[in-house]
Amino acid sequence: MPRLFLTSDLDSFPVTPHGCSVTLACGVRLQFPAGATTTPVTIHYRLWLPEPGLISLGPHDFLLSGVLELKPHGVAFQQDVSLWLLFVPPRTRRCREVVVRTWSNSIWSDLETHLEEEAPKRLWARCQVPHFSWFLVVLRPVSNACLVPPEGTLLCSSGHPGVKVIFPHGATEEPRHVSMQVVRMPGRELQALLGEPEAAVSPLLCLSQSGPPSFLRPVTVQLPLPPGVTGFSLDRSRLHLLYRAPPEATWDDITAQVALELTHLYARFQVTHFSWYWLWYTTKTCVGGLARKAWERLRLHRVNLIALQRRRDPEQVLLQCLPRNKVDATLRRLLERYRGPEPSDTVEMFEGEKFFAAFECGIDVDAGRPDCVDGRICFVFYSHLKNVKEVYVTTALDRETQAVRGQVSFYRGSVPVEVPQEAEAARQRKGADALWMATLPIKLPRLQRSEGRGQGAGLSLVPLNLGDADTGFLTQSNLLSIAGRLGPDWPAVALHLGMPYRELQRIRHEFRDDLDGQIRHMLFSWAERQAGNPGAVGLLVQALEQSDRQDVAEEVHAILELGRHKYQDSIRRTGLAPEDPALPGTSSSQISEPAQA
C-alpha cells in the first residue's frame, strides 16, 4: 500500500482504487483500504480553530482537539476509511470516555472510538468513517445505549451500576434507540454551595431517545439514593425528585407527581418520556433554584488570568487563561523568561465561553492577527486546550521621556461592535460591569535615546515584509513572534535555512549572554537577505518543519492566510482589482454548514 507524508504547504492528496496510507503535516493519519474508491479522487483537508459556532458540545462535554475538515463532503466510500486524530490527554477519565464527533446528515453524532497510545501523553483516537465531513475529539460522560424492541428490555449504566431503566412489554410499537448518561457531583462542592453538611444528591441522570417523545407504557427508572442516605432511615420530607427538560435551564420538583418506591439503597419511579432526573436530600425548601446553581457549578471551571512580558523584550506580551491548579507550575516555568504582575483573582468560566483581552491606557496591539478585532484579542475557553496567546504591543506615547504604564483588561463575551472604552478604574466597577473579569498592569519601560522604538537590545530591526501577494506577507511583528517561539531550537532552523555554520558561531559569540538576541539576529539577518525573494516564506516553513517545529510552522500558515485575506480585501476596496467571488479567501471566513447546525 502506498504511503504519503504531506508537508504543511500541501492541503490535498490523491487517492486511487489501490488505496493508500496518508500522514498529514498536523499529525492526523488516514488509511484508505484497497477498493475504498472506484475512481481516483482528490482529498482536501483543513484544520479549523475551535469556535462555538463550529462545534457541538453537550453540557458536560470537554473539547480535546481542534476541528479537522475533510473534503469533498458526503462522498461515500465503498469501504470504511480509518482515521487517527491526536488529542490532549484528559485530566481524568473516571466515568468518562473519549469519542470522535462528526457532522453527518445535518446532525452531530459520535463514532465508535478506540484509543491508541504511541508514547506517554501522545494519544490517538481511532475511528472508521464512511464519508468525510468535520471531525473533533471530545470527552463526554460514559454513554450507554440500546435498541428498545416492542418486547421491552433493560438498560444499565456501565459507570454507575445502580442506575437502570426498565422498559416493559409494549412500551413502544417500533424499535427505538435510547441512550443514557450519568454525571456525579462531588459532595463537598454541594455542601459548600448549600451550607448544609448533611445535604447529598444522587448521580445526575440524562435520558434521551429517538422517535416519538412519549412511550406507550410507563418506563421504570432506578436511581441510587444520595450517599449516606438509606431507605429505612431517611426523612421523606427531605427527599426531592427534580426534573429538567432541555433547552430550559430550570429544574422542577416533581416529587408530588410521581410515586417514589424506596428500597434500602435505591429509589424507583415511572416516567412516560425522557429528560434529566436528579434526587436531592436536603432541608432546603426551594430546591429547584438550588439545583440550577449546582448544575451550573458542575460545568464551571475555576481559572486565573495572567499577563507576562518577556524580560528581554517587554513589548512581547503573553496572555493566558489557566485552570487554578496549574497556575503555580506554569509560572515557575515561565518566570525564567517572563515577568509580570500576580495572576488575577479566580474567575469561573464555562467550556466554550468567549472572552477577550483589551489593551488600555495607551497600549495597543502592533500586529494584524486572525483573532484581533479593533485591537481586542479574542479567546474561546476550552479547559483542556492551551488558552494562551503572545502578542506584540506598542504605544503612540513618547517612551523617551517616561515609561508607559498601561493595562490589559479581560471581558466576557464576544468583542462588541462598540468596544469598551479605557477602564481606568476597572477594579472598582466589578459590580457595575458584569462582563469585566480582571485587569492586569502592563509597563513599557522608558527608552534610552540610543534605542529605537520596537528594537531588540543590540539589534536594529529595519521595516520589512517577507513574502509576496500570492503566499502572503510576514511583517516585522510576525517575525518577532516567531522568534519568541523558537527557543534553543534556533540553530537547527538556521542551518535548514542555509545559514553557514561559521555565521552561527559568530552570532552565538556576539550575543553569548542573550538567547533572544541570538534568535532575533539570526532570523532578521536571514530575512533581510531574502528581500524580494518570493519563495522566502516557503523556505522558512520548510526549515521549521525539518527542525521538528511543526507548531511554529502552523502559526506561520495562520498568519499567511490572514495576510492573503487582508491583501485581497484591500485591493478590492481601493478599486485596483474587480470583485471576484472566486478569489481565495473571499468566503473562507464564513463557515456555513456548521453555523446552520
β-strand 20-23 against 3-5: which pairing, if any?
parallel
Say which DSSP state 428 is in.
G
Give the strand order in the sheet containing 153-156.
153-156, 164-167, 214-224, 266-273, 261-262
Q: ∠ CA 469-472-474 to the nearest 5 degrees?
A: 125
Gap between the Cα atoms of 498 and 494, Å rounded: 7
Element spanning 490, H or E = helix 490-496
- Report long-range pairs for 475-481 (Cβ below 8 Å, ≥24 apart): 475/367, 475/368, 477/366, 477/367, 477/392, 478/367, 478/556, 478/559, 479/523, 479/524, 479/527, 480/313, 480/316, 480/392, 480/456, 480/520, 481/316, 481/367, 481/390, 481/391, 481/392, 481/555
Cell 477577550: give the residue: 356
Gap between the Cα atoms of 241 and 239, Å rounded: 7
The CA-atom distances, in angstroms, between 97 and each of 93, 117, 485 are 6, 15, 33
Tell me the chain's radius of gyration from C-alpha atoms: 28
Gap between the Cα atoms of 165 and 298, Å rounded: 24
Strand-pair partners of 137? 100
Residues labelled as active-site residues: 131, 133, 273, 275
- Report long-range pairs for 157-164 (Cβ below 8 Å, ≥24 apart): 157/182, 159/95, 160/95, 160/184, 160/203, 160/224, 162/222, 162/223, 162/224, 162/265, 162/266, 163/203, 163/205, 163/222, 163/223, 163/224, 164/221, 164/222
Contact 280, 235 (CB under 8 A): no
The residue type at 488? P
β-strand 376-381 against 372-373: which pairing, if any?
antiparallel
Strand-pair partners of 245? none
Contact 50, 87 (CB under 8 A): no
Cell 475504498: give the residue: 36
Gap between the Cα atoms of 243 and 288, Å rounded: 9
Q: Is 236 exposed, middle or buried (0-12, 13-18, 19+ CB in 10 A)?
A: exposed
Exposure pattern of 345-372 as b/e (b: 16+ CB <10 Å)? Answer: eebebebbbbbbbbbbbbbebbbebebb
Gap between the Cα atoms of 55 and 384, Å rounded: 15
Gap between the Cα atoms of 586 and 580, Å rounded: 8
Contact 240, 280 (CB under 8 A): yes
β-strand 41-48 against 67-71: which pairing, if any?
antiparallel
Gap between the Cα atoms of 553 and 26, Å rounded: 10
Sequence-ordered alpha helix ranges (H) in 285-359: 287-299, 327-334
